[in-house]
Amino acid sequence: MPKTILIVDDDKMMRSFLSTVLGGEGYPVEEAGNGKEALESLRRSEFDLVVTDLRMPDLSGVEVMREGRKIRPDARWIIVTAYGSIGSAVEAMQGGASDYLTKPFRDPDELRHVIRRVLREAEAETRISLLSEELGRRFPPVEMIFLGKEMAEVHRSVREVAPTTATVLVTGQSGTGKELIARVVHALSPRKEKPFVAIHCSALAETLLESELFGHERGAFTGAVGTRKGRFELGDGGTVFLDEIGDISPVVQVKLLRVLQERCFERVGGTRPIAVDVRIVAATHRNLKAEVAAGRFREDLYYRLNVFPIELPPLSERRGTIVPLAEYFVGKFAAAFGKEITGFSRDATRDLERYAWPGNVRELQNVIERAVILASGEIDLRHLKLDLAVEPALQGEGTLRANEREAIRKVLTETLGNRTQAARILGISLRTLQYRIKEYGL
């Protein structure tokens, strides 16, 4: 639905100019010759944006904005001012305006650019609010996802890249929320009404992964009793999320490169090219540059994927967010299990902040879920069961990895290789454990 714009200016020629330019962009436009008319229009109709002159005889643009925001709190405001009054426009922005323009306009494109950007930002904020409600049942709300100064750059990057068609590469340790970031990128994009299709590349053997990605024709292999569409066809028009892209085989790498270059492929056992329109978001916990140097990952594919990189910091570098996230998970699981949990003891809070969290946010969620099940009232150390035998904050990355490897090896030995049981004891997901076993060569 087109965004509606109200133009407020006592200069008829200026109103006409603005209406012509913005109407030509497809926006429904209404005009008001002074502040009082503008407020009447706001009471009568909804507007996404108000473009108002700063200096008018009855009410100033700032006064119109102050009253108008009470009537239409969701509308955005742009102040238009003469070049010599920029200071007043800056003050107006501090009072709630999204931007300002100086007149006389040097180029109508300047006006178009500012209008598009302000409306795009407004739409992104609305989508973030809706996304928070949509994901709230399964994931932390959006304000929790980007909690802390360490995630501020990630938040800015997501907002910048989401409206584009650029391929995104999300990197970071297992459990940092790479798939969640991919879902946010999709939800803030023009493709949000189309499918979001995810596939975890490391969980499938090469032949199965090919079939899952590209589909197969009847008789392509034993068991292929019919034609099947792959994830790229199912995601046509939307977003395809390729998790753990660093684990795919050289054969699949070649086929994926073609999709990125030409946006077409053939099904397994097929010869007919199939064209698709998909936006690709890939993720990996591996250092793909190192994988390229080692000859395990194609350099040309790496550059195709690494158009817009987003790196997620590990939870151990976001210590100020650990307790707020833990408190969020307590509320979520206490409600789900019908438990009365009053919070954390002082010792429990201390250990939450000191623990290394090798499984990151996913591990934190698992630990809190278990603690809520075990606790009644206050969550204490015996409910968290965190191993702080070695002070994690004082160790280097190599030492942390060595300790993590030894802890996994020890638990696997105690459980006689039962990975499901080992993952439960370690407080991480089975998939994270499988990544670690492969990474550490256990």
Instruction: Identify whether residues 284 and 376 lie together within a single domain.
Output: no
pLDDT of residue 86: 62
Confidence bin at 182 (pLDDT 50/70/90) = very high
Helices and strands, counts by H and E, the chain: 20, 14
Which amino acid is present at 253? Q
Which has more pLDDT, 133 or 260? 260
Confidence bin at 136 (pLDDT 50/70/90) = very low
Which has more pLDDT, 226 or 198? 198
Q: How far apart are CA 367 and CA 359, in angstroms?
A: 10
Q: Which domain holds residue 337?
A: 315-440
Would you tell me how many other CB atoms lie within 10 Å of the CB of residue 3? 20
Instruction: Identify whether residues 163 and 280 lie together within a single domain.
Output: yes
Q: How far apart are CA 374 and CA 382, in angstroms?
A: 9
Examine the fold and report which residue of 311, 336, 354 is the final residue of a domain before the chain moves on: 311
Instruction: Identify whether residues 189 and 51 lie together within a single domain.
Output: no
Answer whether residue 411 is part of any domain.
Answer: yes
pLDDT of residue 254: 93
pLDDT of residue 125: 63
Q: Looking at residue 348, which CATH number applies to its domain?
A: 1.10.8.60
pLDDT of residue 389: 56
- Give the CA radius of gyration of the chain: 27
Instruction: Identify whether residues 299 and 193 lie together within a single domain.
Output: yes
pLDDT of residue 414: 72
- Contact present, 297 and 307 (Cβ < 8 Å): no
pLDDT of residue 83: 60
Q: Which helix (H) or strand (E) holds 230?
A: none
Sign of CA dihedral 172, 175, 176, 177: positive
Which amino acid is present at 293? A
Q: How far apart are CA 168 and CA 283, in angstroms?
A: 8
pLDDT of residue 394: 38
Name 275's Cβ contacts closer than 8 Å, sequence gap at least 6.
Answer: 263, 264
Answer whether residue 136 is part of any domain.
Answer: no
Share the mean pLDDT of the chain.
84
Which amino acid is present at 124? A
Q: What is the mean pLDDT of residues 164-172?
A: 95
State percent of the chain over pLDDT 70.
Answer: 89
Sign of CA dihedral 82, 85, 90, 94: negative
Instruction: Identify whether residues 231 and 325 lie together within a single domain.
Output: no
Which has more pLDDT, 369 or 84? 369
Instruction: Identify whether residues 180 and 261 lie together within a single domain.
Output: yes
Examine the fold and report which residue of 288, 311, 334 is the final residue of a domain before the chain moves on: 311
Examine the fold and report which residue of 311, 344, 377 is the final residue of a domain before the chain moves on: 311
Strand extents, DSSP E, 236-298: 239-243, 264-265, 274-275, 279-284
Q: How far apart are CA 425 and CA 296, in angstroms?
A: 33
Instruction: Identify whether residues 323 and 217 lie together within a single domain.
Output: no
Which has more pLDDT, 441 or 234? 234
- Name which of 413, 406, 366 is nearest 386 in CA terms: 366
Answer whether residue 131 is part of any domain.
Answer: no
Residue 395 pLDDT > 50: no
> Which residues pair with residue 311 across a beta bridge?
171
Q: Looking at residue 178, which CATH number applies to its domain?
A: 3.40.50.300
Answer whether residue 135 is part of any domain.
Answer: no
3-class secondary structure, 187: helix
Confidence bin at 427 (pLDDT 50/70/90) = low
Q: How many domains does the chain have?
A: 3
Instruction: Identify whether residues 105 and 154 lie together within a single domain.
Output: no
CB-side neighbour CA atoms (13 Å) of 441 = 1
Confidence bin at 411 (pLDDT 50/70/90) = confident
Instruction: Identify whether residues 298 and 330 lie together within a single domain.
Output: no
Confidence bin at 172 (pLDDT 50/70/90) = very high
Give the range among 23-37, 98-112, 142-156, 413-427 with minimum mean pLDDT. Answer: 413-427
Which has more pLDDT, 442 or 345? 345
Q: Looking at residue 45, which CATH number applies to its domain?
A: 3.40.50.2300
> Which residues pair with residue 50 across a beta bridge?
6, 77
Give the range among 124-133, 150-159, 424-433 with minimum mean pLDDT. Answer: 124-133
Which has more pLDDT, 191 or 206? 191
Buried b or exposed e, range 239-257, using 16+ CB within 10 angstroms: bbbbbbbbbbeeebbebbb
Instruction: Identify whether residues 331 and 401 lie together within a single domain.
Output: yes
Q: What is the mean pLDDT of residues 353-375?
A: 91
Answer whether residue 132 is part of any domain.
Answer: no
Give the range among 80-89, 268-277, 381-390 with minimum mean pLDDT. Answer: 80-89
Would you tell me how many other CB atoms lie within 10 Å of the CB of residue 26? 8
Residue 296 pLDDT > 50: yes
Instruction: Identify whether residues 210 and 237 lie together within a single domain.
Output: yes
pLDDT of residue 132: 46
Which has more pLDDT, 128 or 368? 368
Q: What is the mean pLDDT of residues 426-434?
A: 73
Instruction: Identify whether residues 291 and 150 lie together within a single domain.
Output: yes
Residue 61 pLDDT > 80: yes
Answer whether residue 353 is part of any domain.
Answer: yes
Answer whether residue 275 is part of any domain.
Answer: yes
Answer whether residue 13 is part of any domain.
Answer: yes
Confidence bin at 126 (pLDDT 50/70/90) = low
pLDDT of residue 118: 85
pLDDT of residue 349: 94
Q: What is the mean pLDDT of residues 355-364?
A: 90
Q: What is the mean pLDDT of residues 207-222?
A: 83
